[in-house]
Structure formats: C-alpha cells, structure tokens
Amino acid sequence: MALTAGMRLPARALLRAWAWLPGAALGRTEPAAGGGVGARRFGNQRVLVEPDPAAGIAVMKLRNPPVNSLSLELLTELVISLEKLENDKTFRGAILTSDCPGVFSAGLDLTEMCGRNPAHYAEYWKAVQELWLRLYTSNLVLISAISGASPAGGCLMALCCDYRVLADNPKCVIGLNETLLGIVAPFWFKDTLVNTIGHRASERALQLGLLFPPAEALQVGLVDKVVPEDKVQSTALSVMAQWMAIPDHARQLTKSMMRKPTADYLVKHRDSDIKNFVSFISRDSIQKSLQMYLEKLKQKKG
C-alpha cells in the first residue's frame, strides 16, 4: 500500500486540505538563508543544529522556508544531522523543532513528486523511508517542540519522537490528512499512528484526514503536552531532563523492543513500497491532479 490517488478528486478539496498553511505547500529548491556552521553551531543549510554538549543534547531546527516542505535536500540533510549526533557520544538527546514561523513542517514536497522521472520518484521515496527509519528507531531521546502546523509528513516526524510538546494555538493543527488530498498514507505512517493513538482513533483520523487542534490532539494522544506558545521550548527542555535521568543503554534497548518490529516490517518491504509509490505517482491522473494543485498554489502566492 502506498500513496494512491482518489478517483473523484476535486481540486477544491485539495486546496482546502492545505488551506491552513500560512505560506504554501511548495518546496523551494534554492538554498535557505544561511545556518551558520560555527564553533558552537553545526549542521547544514536546511537543518540548524544548536548543540549543548554540557547537557548532552542538541536542538535541531528545520529551516526550509516557507513551510519546511520535506524536499530531497531537507530529507538528506536531516538524516545526516541525525547521524552525526548519533555517532557523537556527547549527545544523548535532541529536540526537533522549526525555524519557520507558523509551521512545524508541511510534510512531503509535492514538487518532488510532480513532473519528474521514475528514477527521481524512487530516490525521493527512499529518502522519505530513510528519514522515518532513522527517526523512529533513533538511539537518541527525541522530543518535538511544535509551534506550528504539522500536517501529513510533519505529523509523522513528530510521531517518531519520544515525546511531543505542542503550542496552545488553534493554528497548530496536527494530523495525517492525506485523504483530504485524495491520497492514502503509506502503511508505515499508519503503523506509527496506530502505535501512538490506537486502532480505532487511527481508523477515524486517517479516513477523515483529521487535523487536530491542540486540545483534541492532546485528548486523542497525538501529543503529550500542550503549553502556551512561549513555553514550548522550555517545556521540551525540562521533559528532556527527565528522560536524560534514565540509563541510556536500558532505555535504548527498551525503545528498540517497542519499535523494532514496526520498523523491521518496512525494512522487509522497502523495495515493494518504493515500487508501489513510483507506479502510483507516475499515473497520468495523479500527475494531472498534482499539477493542477501546484498551479493553484502558485497563483495564490503570486
């Protein structure tokens, strides 16, 4: 099962699906404004890493304006940043957050899925899988500090963390809203959601493509804590301190015991999942839908 198009896909529904976005769902292929790689900060252009070696943690800020679309570049840089932190014994935890106001991440980048060739689609999908595998099974304690909208792939990244702090702002909606775009969340998005909020809540949320406002996200278990917007970072840090108090090795093995079966299932079906995605996304009907949607977004921006 992969992303699959709706047959009766109205353009209006597509637009409504991302109507909450402050900017647009268009990724930018040009580099983002410079994240300094200095003595105390490292990272790359789209992921700014602020290390706190004394505390053993780092803050990873997504910086792919306007809406942190998960472009191939962002995916790659995020995986590399994670890898660096995992391999550096200094770091035991990381906070995942956004440098773009109003949005955590808009999720997958539609421009990576439209008007390209099958090889590109396959490369892109493999990168999406890779990010999920890395985040979901990370040895680090991962906490997401969410001060903006988190639809689709944005929600997925949050779900991969060990703890989610959400700003108490009605614009900070979160959920896997793929059906609103006429597409279907891949099975591993679904598995991650079921592991977090259970089968029944997932069934309803996925079918309706629900984007939960903060209070509802908390109630259904999609996030663990809702706090005023200016307390999101400090709350994430104090929660991190609680997790840091646990011996690493025992915690990591426990996490692995909980998550490895879910991750292994994708690893086992990785190639067929890529094949499914490429075959789906290459369909004329899907390409036409995406094209139309991207045109509308451009007009809206212009």
Active site residue 6: no
Closer CB to a second copy, 129 or 202, in the complex = 202
Residue 132 sits at the vertex; the CA angle it makes with 117 and 7, to the nearest 5 degrees, is: 50
Catalytic residue, candidates 178, 181, 209, 276: 178
x-marked contacts with a second copy along 12-51 as a string, rule CB under 8 A: -x--------------------------------------
Paired tokens of 300: 């809206």
Closer CB to a second copy, 68 or 202, in the complex = 202
Q: What are phi and psi of 285, to 5 degrees?
A: -60, -40
> Tokens 């900017």 map to which residue?
23
**Judged by CB under 8 A, does residue 146 bind a second copy?**
no
Q: Which residues contact 258 (CB under 8 A, 6 or more apart)?
A: none
220-259 binders of a second copy (CB under 8 A): 221, 224, 242-243, 245-251, 253-255, 257-259
Pairing of strands 150-151, 225-227: unpaired
**Judged by CB under 8 A, does residue 112 bind a second copy?**
no
Catalytic residue, candidates 64, 139, 169, 177: 177
Active site residue 209: no
Distance CA 284, CA 296 (A): 18
Q: What are phi and psi of 106, to 5 degrees?
A: -80, -5
Catalytic residue, candidates 148, 153, 175, 182: 153
CB of residue 261 to a second copy, shortest distance in Å? 10
Distance CA 185, CA 178 (A): 6
**Judged by CB under 8 A, does residue 200 bind a second copy?**
yes
Measured from the Cβ of residue 72, the count of other Cβ atoms closer than 10 Å reads: 18
> Tokens 């451009």 map to which residue?
298
Residues forming the site for a second copy (CB under 8 A): 1, 4-10, 13, 162-163, 178-185, 187, 190, 194-200, 202-204, 206-209, 221, 224, 242-243, 245-251, 253-255, 257-259
Active site residues: 108, 153, 177-178
